[in-house]
Amino acid sequence: MKTILLSAAILAGALSTHAAIQSKTIDYQQGDATLEGVLVWDDAVSGPHPGVLVVHQWLGLTNYEKHRAEMLAQLGYVAFCADIYGKGVRPKDTSEAGALAGKYKSDRALLRQRVNAALDQLKKSELVDPKRIAAIGYCFGGTTVLELALSGAEVNGVVSFHGGLDAPSPADAKNIQCKVLVQAGADDPFQKPEDLDAFQKEMRDAKVDWQITFYGGAVHSFTQPDPGFSNPGAHYNEKADKRSWQAMKDFFAEIFATH
Amino acid sequence: MKTILLSAAILAGALSTHAAIQSKTIDYQQGDATLEGVLVWDDAVSGPHPGVLVVHQWLGLTNYEKHRAEMLAQLGYVAFCADIYGKGVRPKDTSEAGALAGKYKSDRALLRQRVNAALDQLKKSELVDPKRIAAIGYCFGGTTVLELALSGAEVNGVVSFHGGLDAPSPADAKNIQCKVLVQAGADDPFQKPEDLDAFQKEMRDAKVDWQITFYGGAVHSFTQPDPGFSNPGAHYNEKADKRSWQAMKDFFAEIFATH
């Protein structure tokens, strides 16, 4: 019995050990624009693995998204941090962030092109199985992954964390080929009730496979320890962060059929 | 290496094996009423385990709840199927079910007494750790476990599956000592929007730790392969069933601190 336990412990150790997390900055194109994303994976990964696109908040691609990509890599996924704004375009403050996010939210066609360019980049990686792809996004990125779904992109699922639900072209929901998970703060003051109603109607009318969870006590930016600005309507909530991450893991297990 | 793999396989088998699921019908009292519940556990369980109270739908305690209790026992929990209506009081049809459910929904004080009597019974079991208790309920039972929470019962969490959210005494939310998880069909025609709004206000005002998930495409009774009546607004939805069960497992892992 002692031998069995020891052997099992060795094996369990071997299974849970992962090599160093690797990352690589990658330039890619969308039209004439150069974008700069980051691919993150676990060294132990070889051969095609499920890929997860990570779309940034209004402040652009920051260490926050890279950290989430590392967390995904630790789970065995290959993650790619998208760059919607463009190489070197990194807002210095919330004023610039608002202007940039506003630009893309006002031009959904361009937003869809940008996020699809990032998706193509993820699918190109030899580490990634292009048939097993998810996209997640935070705030502005949450809106963006919903636009990715609305564009008809071939992904298995999208997850929005405290993203805006406004969709100027709700009829495009008929294009959606993937499952949709929305995770929202029940007390998010930036979430307009009319957008929420319209989103539900949009999903319902198109018979999308969708779910939405509201976390009590959570406001906007509930997953972000440092949302980058001071506002009582936007701050971190550890419980909602952990719960929404777990729900994402369950969603991935379902869409990638690993349980 | 072969030896290690074999040994690990033997150990993994030993860990995942459970003995037969056991059940015992138990008579218990509430006031002058005799109730008849069912305790369900795994034979491999010894010593105090987390306990889960299972509260029935409007049709009373049926094989459906016993099956859920068995599923819980397989997860390592000790489950007790409550009997709200009374020993031998088992509705023959939906007409009787409606009358009985209506009786208790109109008398929340009695409903709370009944569900607390079942809780006491679960806690009495020597197999159960009375400090680690959850309650789940379906339809009428979902409403009932929320009333259990509102009564100030000492439980770690309650989970409502497609339960009515109407609460005649919302101010009692100040009594709530546990976490609350509500799982609802996004298209449940029996869920009144005003009840949903009032429920959210009730939770928010009392600063309860609460969450609600809406499953797209799911109507009432989405966990029940045979809801016992024919209505387009109430039928089984396999995806919502599996997702809500997984969400319950995550919730238990959190409230019982097993991950």
Closest-CA distance, A177 to chain B, in angstroms, reads 15
pLDDT of residue A230: 82
Determine, for residues A213 and B211 on separate chains, whether the beta-carbon distance falls below 8 Å: yes
Judged by a CB distance cut-off of 8 A, whether residue B19 touches chain A is no
Share above pLDDT 90 across residues of chain B, in percent, rounded to a whole number: 88
Please report the pLDDT score of residue A226 as a whole number. 85
What whole-number distance in Å separates Cα of residue A152 and Cα of residue B254?
A: 36
DSSP-derived 3-state class of residue A151: coil
CA distance A97 to B22: 60
| CA distance readout (Å), A259 to A35, A183, A250, B142, B162 | 35, 22, 9, 27, 25
B201 touches A: beta carbon within 8 Å: no
Confidence at residue A90, expressed as pLDDT on a 0 to 100 scale: 95
Mean pLDDT of chain A: 92
Does the CB of B7 have a partner CB in chain A at under 8 Å? yes
Beta bridge partners of A10: none
User: pLDDT band at A69, cuts 50/70/90?
Assistant: very high
**Residues in chain A closer than 8 A to B239 (CB atoms):** 209
Residues in B touching A239 (Cβ below 8 Å): 209
Query: Residue B77's pLDDT is what?
Result: 97
Instruction: For A135-187, write each residue's pLDDT tens digit.
Output: 999 999 999 999 999 999 999 999 999 999 999 999 999 999 999 999 999 99
pLDDT at A112 over 50: yes
Q: Is A258 on the interface with B (CB under 8 A)?
A: no
Q: Which residues contact B222 (CB under 8 A, 6 or more apart)?
A: B161, B162, B185, B188, B215, B235, B236, B237, B240, B241, B244
B127: Cβ–Cβ under 8 A, 6 or more apart, which residues? B41, B45, B46, B47, B48, B49, B51, B78
Q: CA-CA distance, A124 to A151, in Å (whole number)? A: 19
Give the ipTM: 0.91
Entry pTM:
0.91
- Identify the closest residue of chain A to B240 by CA–CA distance: A211
Nearest to A58 by CA among A94, A30, A89, A25: A94
What pLDDT score does A120 carry?
98
Question: Count of alpha carbons within 13 Å of B196, Cβ hemisphere only?
Answer: 19
Helix (H, G, I), strand (E, B), or coil: what is residue A134?
Answer: strand
Strands A128-138 and A49-55, sheet pairing = parallel
Q: Does B211 touch chain A (CB under 8 A)?
A: yes
Which tens digit of pLDDT belongs to each residue from A78-111?
A: 999 999 999 999 999 999 999 999 999 999 999 9
Task: Quick: pLDDT tens for B24-34.
Answer: 999 999 999 99
Question: CA A208 → CA A131, A175, B198, distances in Å?
Answer: 19, 9, 28
Q: State the pLDDT confidence band at B258, using cuts at 50, 70 and 90.
A: low
d(CA B69, CA B41): 8
pLDDT at A13: 42
**Least confident window among A113-117, A228-232, B11-15:** B11-15
Whether residue B216 and residue A239 make contact (CB cut-off 8 A), yes or no, is: no
Q: Is A241 in CB contact (< 8 Å) with chain B?
A: no
Is A211–B211 a contact, with Cβ atoms under 8 angstroms apart? no
Residues A105 and B175: their CA atoms lie apart, in Å, by: 44
pLDDT at residue B19, as a whole number? 67
pLDDT band at B9 (very low <50, low <70, confident <90, very high): very low
Assign B47 a pLDDT band (cuts: 50, 70, 90): confident
Q: Cβ contacts of residue B257 below 8 Å, gap of 6+?
A: none
pLDDT tens track for B48-71: 999 999 999 999 999 999 999 999
DSSP class of residue B220 equals B
B194: how many CB neighbours lie within 10 A of its CB? 9
**Residues in B touching A243 (Cβ below 8 Å):** 211, 250, 254
**What DSSP string runs through B107-135?**
-HHHHHHHHHHHHHHHHHSTTEEEEEEEE
CA dihedral A205, A211, A216, A220 (to 10 degrees): -80
- Is B256 near chain A, with CB under 8 Å? no
A5, A7, A191, best to mutate vs chain B, most B CBs in 10 Å: A7
> Going by C-beta distance under 8 Å and a sequence separation of 6 or more, which residues neighbour residue A213?
A181, A182, A183, A184, A243, A244, A247, B211, B212, B213, B214
Give which of A1, A3, A4, A180 to mutate to test B binding, by max B Cβ within 10 Å.
Answer: A4
Which of the residues B1, B10, B11, B238 would you substitute to probe the A interface, choosing the one with the greatest number of A C-beta atoms within 10 Å?
B11
Quick check: B5 pLDDT over 70? no
CA distance A193 to A210: 18
Evaluate whether A80 touches A121 at the Cβ level (below 8 Å): yes
Chain A residues closer than 8 Å to B204 by CB:
186-187, 216-217
Of the residues A5, A11, A146, the best mutation for testing chain B's interface (the one with the most B CB atoms within 10 Å of its CB) is: A11
**pLDDT over 60 at B259, yes or no:** no
User: In this predicted structure, which of A182-196, B194-208, B220-234 has the lowest mean pLDDT?
Assistant: B220-234
| Nearest residue in B to A199, CA atom | B216
Answer whether B55's CB lies under 8 Å from B136's CB: yes
